[in-house]
Chain A
Amino acid sequence: MSEPVIKCESVYKIFGENAETMLKEANGNVDAKTFQENGCIVGVNNASFEVSKGEMLVVMGLSGSGKSTLLRCISRLTDATGGKIFIEGQDLLNLNNKELIDLRRNKMGMVFQSFALLPHKTVVENIAFPLQIKGINTEESIKKAMNMVKLVGLDGRENYFPRELSGGQQQRVGIARSLAVEPDIWFLDEPFSALDPLIRKEMQDEFLRLQEKLQKTIMFITHDFDEALKLADRIAIMKDGIIEQLDTPANIVLNPATEYVRKFTEEVPREKVLLIEDVMDSTTTEDIGDLKVSKDEIIENVAEKILTQEKTVAVIDNNNNIVGSINPTKIINTVFGGRKNNN
Chain B
Amino acid sequence: MELFKKYPKLFQWIFLLIVFFALCFAIDVPETYKFIRGQAEFVKDPNQSTFVFLGKEVRYYAFDVFWRLPPLLGWLPIWINDSLFFLMNDWMPMEFWNEDTQEYKTRPLVLQITRNLTAFMTFLIELIREILLGGLETIVAFTSWDWIDANPWAELPGLPWTIVAAGSAILAYKLGGRGLAIFAGLAMTYISIFGQWKPSMQTLSFILVAAPLSFIFGLSLGIAAFKSKRVEKALYPILLVMQTMPQYAVLVPALVLFGVGDHAAVIITMIVAVPPMILLTLLGLRAVPPEVIEAGRMSGCNNWQLMFKVLIPTARRDILIGVNQVIMVCFSMAVISAFIGAKGLGFNLLLALNQLNIGLALEAGLCISLIAILLDKMSLAWANKQVDYFGNLNFFQRNKNSLFFGLIMIVGIALAYFGSIYFKEYNYLFEVPHNKGISTADFWNKGVDWIFDTFFVYIKAFNTWLIVEVLQPMRALYLRMPAIATIVLVVGAGYLIGGIRSALVVCGLTLFIALSPWWDRALVTTYMATFGVIVSCIIGFTVGTLCFQNKHSTKFMLNVCDIFQTFPSFVYLIPVMMLFGITDTSVLIAVIVYATIPATRYTIEGLRSVPSGLHDAATMSGVTKFQRLFKIEFPLAFPHMMLGLNQTIVFALFMVIIGAFIGTEDLGQYILKALSDKKGAGIGLTLGICVAFIGLIFDNLIRTWVDKRKKHLGID
- Residues of chain A having any CB pair with chain B under 8 Å: 72, 75, 77, 97, 101-102, 104-106, 108-110, 112-122, 124, 129-130, 133-134, 138, 142, 159, 174, 177-178, 181, 187
Q: Which of B291, B309, B389, B390 has a CB less than 8 Å from the CB of A133?
A: B309
For the complex, what is the distance from the CA of A104 to the CA of B309, rounded to whole Å?
A: 17
Please determine whether B314 and A119 come into contact, CB atoms closer than 8 angstroms: yes
How many angstroms between the C-alpha atoms of A77 and B293 in the bound complex?
Answer: 10
By the criterion CB–CB under 8 Å, are A116 and B300 in contact? no
- The chain B residues found within 8 Å of chain A, CB to CB, are 289, 291-292, 294-295, 297-302, 305, 309-310, 313-314, 316, 386, 389-390
Contact assessment for A118 and B310 in the assembled complex, using a CB-CB cutoff below 8 Å: yes
CB distance from B102 to the nearest CB of A (A): 49
CB pair B302 A101 closer than 8 Å: yes
Q: Are A97 and B302 in contact (CB under 8 A)?
A: yes
Q: Let me know if B310 and A104 touch, CB within 8 A.
A: no
Query: Are A142 and B389 in contact, with the CB atoms below 8 A?
Result: yes
Instruction: Evaluate contact between A116 and B301: CB separation under 8 angstroms.
Output: no
Residues from chain A with a CB closer than 8 A to the CB of B386 are: 122
**Interface contact A110-B314, CB-CB below 8 Å:** no
Bound CA–CA A112/B298 (angstroms):
11
Q: Are A77 and B297 in contact (CB under 8 A)?
A: yes
CB distance from B408 to the nearest CB of A (A): 29
**Chain B residues whose C-beta falls within 8 Å of the C-beta of A181 in the assembled complex:** 300
CA distance A106 to B297 in the complex (A): 13
- What are the residues of chain A within 8 A of B390 when measuring CB–CB? 159
A-B CB proximity, top 5 nearest: A105-B300, A116-B295, A130-B299, A116-B291, A110-B298
Q: Give the residues in chain B near A77, CB-CB below 8 Å.
A: 294, 297-298
Contacts of B310 in A (CB 8 A): 118
In the bound complex, residues from chain A placing their C-beta under 8 Å from that of B305 are: 133
Q: How far is the CB of B157 from chain A (nearest CB, A)?
A: 40
Nearest to A104 among chain B residues (CB) is: B300
Taking CB atoms, residues of chain A closer than 8 Å to B291 are 112-116
Q: Are A112 and B294 in contact (CB under 8 A)?
A: yes
The answer to whether A120 touches B389 (Cβ under 8 A) is no
17 contacts between A and B (CB under 8 A): A75-B298, A77-B297, A97-B302, A101-B300, A101-B302, A102-B300, A104-B298, A110-B294, A116-B294, A124-B389, A129-B299, A133-B299, A133-B305, A138-B389, A142-B389, A177-B295, A181-B300
Q: How far is the CA of A121 from the CA of B387 in the complex (A)?
A: 10
Instruction: Report chain B residues within 8 Å CB of A104.
Output: 297-300
Minimum distance in angstroms from B612 CB to a CB of chain A: 16
> Does B295 contact A112, Cβ atoms closer than 8 Å?
yes
The distance in angstroms between the C-alpha atoms of A343 and B291, with both chains bound, is 42
Min distance, Cβ A183 to any Cβ of chain B, angstroms: 9
CA distance A45 to B32 in the complex (A): 78
| Cβ 8 A contact of A120, one of B300, B301, B314 | B314
Besides A118-B295, A177-B299, 10 more A-B contacts (Cβ < 8 Å) are A75-B298, A77-B294, A106-B300, A112-B291, A116-B292, A117-B295, A133-B305, A133-B309, A134-B300, A187-B298
- Inter-chain contact A120/B316, CB cutoff 8 Å: yes
Q: Which residue of B lies closest to A174 (CB)?
A: B295
| B138 to A: closest C-beta gap in Å | 36
* Complex contact A108–B298 (CB within 8 A): yes
Residues of chain A lying within 8 A (CB to CB) of residue B313: 118, 120-121
Q: Are A130 and B300 in contact (CB under 8 A)?
A: yes
CA distance A128 to B297 in the complex (A): 15
What B residues does A113 contact at CB under 8 A? Answer: 291
Collect the chain A residues with CB atoms within 8 Å of residue B309's CB: 129, 133
B residues in contact with A114, CB < 8 Å: 289, 291
User: In the complex, what residue of chain B is closest to A132 when comparing beta carbons?
Assistant: B309
Smallest CB gap from A106: residue in B: B300
Closest to B299 in A: A130
Q: Which residues of A contact B302 (CB under 8 A)?
A: 97, 101
* Interchain CB contact (< 8 A) of A118 among B300, B314, B389: B314
Q: How far is the CA of A109 from the CA of B294 in the complex (A)?
A: 11
Chain B residue with the shortest CB-CB distance to A130: B299
